[in-house]
């Protein structure tokens, strides 16, 4: 059910503004119903009452909320971005295509992860349960990054076995740490674990049978 609030004010505009602020929405995102007009009453003194409105969020799908948010964001940044959308049982995937989009990726995808977090908040703004997972990617960056991490994990595992010294990787997000762990989970020569606190949590690779 769409979120709806009723508010009063000296004018319809004032009541409407109060309702919009509570909903955290713009006028384009709602339906406004005037319940009562403001009245000054008898001789402008007795029996007067304020304006009252009911403001209801226009129900949209998570995909529509996400597309609208991204469109406004890119327009404000002066970026021309094509949105490729794919809906699956796991959620919604947006692949962003355009020129000079490196600014949206950031170091090791940190900016992209932050943007993805915001898009998920916006897409699920009217949902308290049954939330939809939204994944953002830029010209298959995440796929390329995952492949890079898999190669890194294998190379470092070999290095650990040769030196018998553990290796501590740079801080990574949970998704990237999982790639390292899964890549090496069947390698009996080494073991991996995560250490530290977010957002500085790191993967550690060490030999199962260090040399003596």
Per-residue pLDDT of the chain (212 residues; tens, 9 = 90+): 458 899 999 899 999 999 999 888 888 888 999 999 888 765 555 556 889 999 998 888 899 999 999 999 999 999 999 999 999 888 999 999 998 898 899 888 889 999 999 999 999 987 777 889 999 999 889 999 999 999 999 999 999 999 988 999 999 988 899 999 999 999 999 999 999 998 899 999 999 864 45
From residue 64, alpha-carbon distances to 42, 49, 68, 186 in Å are 48, 39, 6, 42
**pLDDT for the residue 1:** 47
- Virtual torsion, Cα 193, 195, 197, 200, nearest 10 deg: -100
Half-sphere exposure of 207 (CA within 13 A, CB side): 12
Pairing of strands 134-138, 91-98: parallel
Where in the chain is CATH 3.30.300.20? 62-139
**CA 39 – CA 45 distance, rounded (Å):** 10
Residue with tokens 């609030």: 5
Tell me which CATH homologous superfamily contains domain 62-139.
K homology (KH) domain (3.30.300.20)
For domain 143-207, give its CATH number from 3.40.920.10, 3.30.1370.50, 3.40.50.1370, 1.10.3720.10.
3.30.1370.50
- Ordered strands of the 51-57 beta sheet: 4-9, 51-57, 30-36
66 class by beta-carbon count within 10 Å (0-12 exposed, 13-18 middle, 19+ buried): buried
Look up residue 190 and give its two tokens: 């080494």
pLDDT computed for residue 14 by the predictor: 93
Residue 38's pLDDT is what?
87
Q: CA-to-CA distance for 8 and 17, rounded, in angstroms?
A: 10
Which residue spans within the chain are E strands per DSSP? Answer: 4-9, 30-36, 51-57, 81-88, 91-98, 134-138, 167-168, 190-195, 202-207
């Amino acid at each position: 059910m769409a979120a709806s609030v009723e508010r009063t004010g000296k004018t319809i505009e004032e009541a409407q503004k109060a309702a919009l602020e509570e909903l955290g929405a713009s006028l384009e995102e709602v339906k406004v119903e005037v319940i009562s007009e403001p009245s000054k009453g008898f001789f402008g003194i007795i029996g007067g009452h304020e304006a009252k409105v009911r403001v209801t969020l226009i129900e949209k799908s998570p995909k529509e909320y996400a597309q609208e948010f991204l469109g406004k964001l890119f327009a404000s940044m002066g970026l021309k971005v094509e949105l490729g959308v794919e809906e699956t049982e796991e959620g919604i995937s947006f692949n962003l295509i355009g020129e000079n989009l490196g600014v949206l990726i950031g170091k090791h995808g940190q900016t992209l992860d932050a943007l993805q977090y915001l898009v998920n908040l916006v897409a699920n703004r009217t949902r308290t349960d049954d939330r939809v997972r939204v994944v953002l990617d830029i010209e298959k960056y995440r796929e390329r990054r995952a492949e890079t991490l898999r190669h890194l994990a294998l190379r470092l595992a070999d290095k650990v076995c040769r030196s018998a010294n553990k290796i501590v990787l740079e801080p990574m997000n949970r998704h990237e740490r999982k790639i390292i762990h899964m890549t090496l989970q069947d390698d009996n020569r080494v073991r991996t674990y995560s250490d530290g606190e977010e957002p500085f949590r790191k993967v550690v690779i060490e030999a199962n049978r260090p040399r003596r």
